């Protein structure tokens, strides 16, 4: 699993992946990294809740978070939409891993065009 593998490295960033593909931006959106905690712990759940709230306060809705060394948590309006988020997240993570992190992100203008055209918020 590329997404869990990415969460196992020594990382200095706050999100799993940059805006690599249009579909990642449109379907998945930002994926904050949540530092490791004991699986099922209330501390991790609280951190996830705080993260969701902080992004919402910035006007950015989330559909996923990545729990370091544990894996993704995804949600959406329906199970099918949540599954589409998970699938796109995994495929984009594989792309990033296969390219050894050399995949250039979309240019800011490209992301802005996606935001305008599809009424989404990345920035």
Question: Residue 102: which pLDDT band, with cuts at 50, 70 and 90?
Answer: confident
Give exposure, 60-89, as e/b (b: 16+ Cβ within 10 Å).
bebbbbbbbebebbbeeeeeeebebbbebb
Confidence at residue 3, expressed as pLDDT on a 0 to 100 scale: 62
Contacts of residue 94, defined as CB under 8 A and 6 or more positions apart, other chains included, come to: 2
- Tens of pLDDT, residues 37-63: 999 899 999 999 999 999 999 999 999
What mean pLDDT is predicted for residues 69-74?
Answer: 93
pLDDT at 100: 83
Cβ–Cβ under 8 Å, residues 88 and 23 = yes
Query: Where residue 22 falls among pLDDT bands split at 50, 70, 90?
Result: very high
Q: What average pLDDT is seen over the chain?
A: 90
Domains, in order of start, for the chain: 2-118 (3.40.225.10)
Percent of the chain with pLDDT over 70: 89
Q: Are 7 and 1 in contact (CB under 8 A)?
A: no
pTM, two decimals, is 0.87
Three-class secondary structure of residue 50 per DSSP: helix
Q: Can you give the pLDDT at residue 101?
A: 80
pLDDT tops 90 at residue 26: yes
Question: Active-site positions?
Answer: 23
């Amino acid at each position: 699993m590329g997404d869990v593998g990415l969460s196992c490295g020594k990382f200095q960033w706050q999100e799993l992946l940059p805006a690599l593909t249009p579909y990642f931006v449109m379907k998945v959106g930002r994926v904050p990294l949540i530092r490791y905690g004991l699986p099922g712990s209330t501390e991790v759940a609280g951190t996830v809740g705080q993260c969701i709230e902080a992004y919402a306060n910035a006007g950015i809705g989330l559909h996923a978070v990545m729990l370091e060394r544990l894996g993704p948590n995804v949600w959406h309006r329906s199970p099918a939409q949540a599954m589409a988020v998970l699938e796109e997240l995994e495929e984009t993570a594989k792309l990033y891993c296969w390219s050894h992190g050399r995949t250039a992100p979309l240019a800011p203008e490209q992301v802005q065009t996606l935001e305008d055209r599809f009424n989404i918020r990345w920035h």
